Amino acid sequence: MDTTAQAPQTANARSLLLPYALTLIAAMIIIQFVVALTGGAVTILAGALTAVVAVGIAVWIVINRRKLLHVRFGLVIAHVIAYVAVTTSFNAHAVVRAVVAGSDNDVQAVAHSLLGSSWFGATLVMSAVWGIGLLIHLLGSVLGRGWED
């Protein structure tokens, strides 16, 4: 009788995760264009569109959970892809806004644009709160040697 633990049968990570990543990137680029075209502020519309993306992520994970469980670190990689696609899109947009606003050398205007507006929540708060959850997920995944139950 063999009592050694065997790793689950693996799945093709590229065919599973690449379309997911590219779809998320495209969705977030569209959202950032909407933000730019509606005045550059993070509004209810941007929040609603981001919520639609979040629901899409959740649905995709539920549908593909079994396949993800056959990819080593599959669930956490999907989580990392979502985190990077969403937070980077908002952070990159904020950087572009800061650089453009900073071309006038008005530091106060740049600081207000980033810290005194809805961009604060869309950049710093979202990155920090989600990042804590992602870190916990990463640690759990490492402790499980990449396989999640």
Binning pLDDT at 50, 70 and 90, where does residue 136 land? Answer: very high
Pick the most confident of 51-55, 69-73, 105-109: 51-55
Q: Does 106 or 131 have the greater pLDDT score? A: 131
The residue assigned the tokens 């650089």 is 99
List pLDDT tens digits, range 61-103. 999 999 999 998 999 999 999 999 999 999 999 988 888 877 7
CA dihedral for 7, 11, 16, 17, sign (positive or negative): positive
Binning pLDDT at 50, 70 and 90, where does residue 2 land? Answer: low
The residue assigned the tokens 């990137």 is 25
Q: Do 69 and 148 meet the contact criterion of CB atoms below 8 Å apart?
A: yes
Q: What's the whole-number mean pLDDT along residues 20-30?
A: 98
The residue assigned the tokens 């979202």 is 126
Assigned token pair, 25 = 């990137």
Q: Does 78 or 6 have the greater pLDDT score? A: 78
Is 30's pLDDT higher than 80?
Answer: yes
Q: Does 4 or 66 have the greater pLDDT score? A: 66
Q: Does 118 or 134 have the greater pLDDT score? A: 134
3-class secondary structure, 120: helix
The residue assigned the tokens 């549908």 is 63
What does the alpha-carbon distance between residue 116 and residue 103 come to, in Å, rounded to a whole number?
19
